[in-house]
Amino acid sequence: MSAKSAYRQMEESITLAPVEEQLADWGGGREREELLTLNMGPHHPATHGVLRLLVTLQGEVVRDIKPVIGYVHTGIEKTAEDKSYWKVIPVIERMDYLSYYFNAMAFCSAVEAIAEVEVPKRAQYLRVIHLELNRIMSHLVWLGTSALDLGAISMFWYCFREREQILDLFEMSSGQRMHTRYFQVGGVIEDIPRGFAEKLEAFLRVMPNRADQYNALLHSNEIVLQRLRGTCPLDAQTLLDLGVSGPLLRAAGNPWDLRKASPYCSYGDFDFKIPVGTVGDNYDRFAVRLAEIYESVKIITSALEGLPEGPHITTDRKVALPPRHELATSMEALIHHFKLVTEGMRVPPGEYYAAIESPRGELGCFVRSDGSSKPARVHMRDPSFVNLQALAAMAEGSYIADLIATLAMLDPILGGIDR
C-alpha cells in the first residue's frame, strides 16, 4: 500500500478535542436548559396562512405554544347582520375558504330550521354531491400543502391537478370555481347542466386511481413515515375535552362523524364507512384523511346513481325565487320575485344552532332571527378555531420539526379561524 496522501495526513492531525473541552465549560452547560422563545410567523410558509406561534423551546424541544390569531379577521359575522338572508351566503362562504359549500350548508340548515323550509330530495342529493366534492377538494389541498411541509414538492402539483378537475365541475354547475353561492335557503340555485353527470363520472373513475397513486407515493416513503409515525399523539379523551372533532378525533379511534351520528341532508341514504385511526399520531391523522377521499367518492357515486327527479329548490314562493318563465305570465310570481329581490325572505323569530361535518370537524352555525329579513346574529363555530387549541397539547415535548408536521396534519384554515 502506498503511503497516505499528504491530505489524509493533514486530516489526521486535526482534532476537535480542545474545542469540545471549551464548549463543555462554556455557560456551565446551561445552554441546554435555558428556555428560548421563538416567534414563528405570521408569514412562515408552514403556518398555512397568517398564523403566528410563540414557541417556547428548550434546545430543540417544544415546551409551550401560544397561537396568536386575528391577522385576517374581516368581521364577516358583523357584516352578515347587515345583509338579507340570501346575501349572507356569499360572505359566509368566504370564512373557511377551502370548504365554502360547507359554510353555506351550515348557514342554510340553520335558516331552514327556523323558517321550517322543506328541502326537496333532489336538492339534498345535489347538495351531497357538491359537499363531498368539496371535501375531496379540501383534502387534496391539505395533502398537497402538507407534503410540501414535509419536503415533497411534487405531491403539491399532483393534488392540484385533481383539484382543478373539481373546480371545473363547480364552475359547470354554478358558474364559479370558488365561493360558488350554489346553495340557497330551500335548495340549490340551479339544477346541474347537461353534461355535468358525464364529467362527474369521468372524475369519479379517475379519483380512486389517483388516490392509490398518492398512497403509493407517500405510504411507502421512508421519510414521510419517519416524520409522521409516532409523532405528537394525543388520546381521544383529551381531544374531546379540547372540543376537537372531525378527522383529528377519528384518528384517535373515536368514530364520531355527524354524517353517521345524526344524518342530515339524506346522508342516511348512502353506504359509506368512517375511517378511524388507532393511536392518534400524525400518521393516523394523515391516513384517516386519505381514506376519507375514497369514502367521499363512494358517496358521490351512489348519490349520482340515485339522483331523484323533482324540483331543485323549494316551491315555497316566500322563500325561493319563482322560475323565470312564470314572471311573464303570472302577476303573483312577479310580486314574489320583486319582494324577494328587494327585501329578501322574512324569517320568524327564533334561534337555532345547526351543525354539520365539515372536512375539519363540527362546523356549527348559530343564527338568531328577530323576524326581519336580516339575521340578528350569525355565528360560525369553526372547527379550525377550536382545533387550534389542541396544537399545544399535541406538540409539547416534541421536536420543533415535528411541530411543523403536526401543524400540517392539524389542517387549520386561517380564514375560518379569524372569520
Residues that bind another protein (CB under 8 A): 69-70, 73, 75, 77-79, 81-82, 113-114, 116, 240-245, 256, 261-262, 350-353, 355, 362, 364, 366, 368, 376-377, 379, 381, 385-386, 388-389, 418-419
Query: Minimum CB separation from another protein for residue 375, in Å?
Result: 11
CB count in 10 Å sphere of residue 10: 10
Exposure string (b/e) for 189-225, b if CB count within 10 Å is 16 or more?
bebbeeebeebbeebbeebeebbeebeeebeebeebe
CB count in 10 Å sphere of residue 143: 25
Please identify, using beta-carbon distances, which residue of 164 and 351 lies nearer to another protein: 351
How far apart (Å, rounded) are the C-alpha atoms in residues 134 and 127?
Answer: 10
Please identify, using beta-carbon distances, which residue of 45 and 75 lies nearer to another protein: 75
Instruction: Check: CB of residue 89 under 8 Å from CB of residue 272.
Output: no
Query: Minimum CB separation from another protein for residue 98, in Å?
Result: 20
Q: Which grid coordinates belong to 150?
A: 414535509
Please identify, using beta-carbon distances, which residue of 354 and 403 lies nearer to another protein: 354
Query: Minimum CB separation from another protein for residue 77, in Å?
Result: 7
Instruction: Check: CB of residue 419 under 8 Å from CB of residue 91.
Output: no
Query: Minimum CB separation from another protein for residue 256, in Å?
Result: 6
How far apart (Å, rounded) are the C-alpha atoms in residues 209 and 277?
Answer: 22
Q: Which grid coordinates belong to 33?
A: 436548559
Please identify, using beta-carbon distances, which residue of 111 and 207 lies nearer to another protein: 111
Query: Minimum CB separation from another protein for residue 363, in Å?
Result: 10
Query: Minimum CB separation from another protein for residue 377, in Å?
Result: 5
Instruction: Check: CB of residue 60 under 8 Å from CB of residue 400.
Output: yes
